[in-house]
Amino acid sequence: MNNFGRVVEIQTGTRTFSNQNYTMEFTVPFDNDLLPNESEIKIYNLSDSTLAEIKLDNTLIINAGYEGNAGMILQGYISRIKTAWSGVDKITTIHVLDSDKLSDRKLEDITYAEDTLASIILKEMAEQLGLPVAQFVLNQDVKYAGGYTASGEVTEIIKKIAADCGTSAYINKGHLYIRNLREGEDDIFELSQDTGLIGMPEPLDEENFSGMSLKSQLQHRITTASVIRLVSRQKEATLHIRKGSHKMSSSDFVTEMEGIYP
């Protein structure tokens, strides 16, 4: 892999913007929680007629990578648009949320009977949230012996019940995932200097986990819960990705990530 052959396509409405025709930048974050992630995209020197076709609440998709190895890194909804001049350049900044606004989806005292399983409640809460469910695998299906009352923001209810089950709940590319980051049948991506590893991996130690911080050339296959087989002169390890971002600027075309050990 090298810095040649970069491919970026931004699609919204009926328009497609390619890095072959436009100067562009972006930062696309991903993580393992239920708060919608906000991506920032900049496209330079769009005409007024083209700008009129970029509209709030429209779906926006970014496909990025290298020739023969590109894929989707973002699917979301345009939340803000701003155009301003910087010297001779007219820069349009587009903010994109990777899901609908979810904080206004609330419930009042839905009561579940004694011995109700967490899986039953979670599936009903997922329906209330309204996002497609990509994966649903609980580490432990807890039984609420005294029953359960669901009240408040749906995302908070899902977060609490998933935690009771020792399971993560997060949103990625407009889909809901309820699963353990360390388990599943995810494809393993070997990351080495030959496949895009940049620099030296850095150790990562926090209260509840340890792992590595990594940087690679932009790789669309890496996102939340991806499994990385790190091969470097300093370290060889298997890592489960918990968060990171894809970035493009005049100098960078990279994926930065944090991975935790199994």
Q: Which of 261, 255, 252 is nearest to 24 (CA)?
A: 252
> How far is Cα 186 from Cα 173, in angstroms, rounded to an integer?
16
CATH topology agreement for domains 6-97 and 188-260: no
CATH architecture of the region 188-260: Beta Barrel (2.40)
Burial code of 185-222, b = ≥16 C-beta within 10 A, e = fewer? ebeebebeeeebbeeebeebeeeeeebbebbbbbbbeb
Q: What is the pTM of this model?
A: 0.90
Q: Which of 149, 147, 171 is nearest to 159 (CA)?
A: 171
Determine the pLDDT at residue 4: 67
CATH 2.30.300.10 given to domain 6-97: yes
- Mean pLDDT in order along the chain per 10 residues (262 residues): 78 96 97 93 97 95 95 95 97 92 82 97 94 94 97 95 96 91 79 94 87 96 94 91 96 96 90
Determine the pLDDT at residue 184: 60
Determine the CATH number of domain 106-179: 3.55.50.10
| DSSP-based three-state secondary structure for 200 | coil
Determine the pLDDT at residue 7: 96
Domain boundaries, the chain: 6-97, 106-179, 188-260
Q: What would you measure as the largest C-alpha separation in the chain, in angstroms?
A: 67
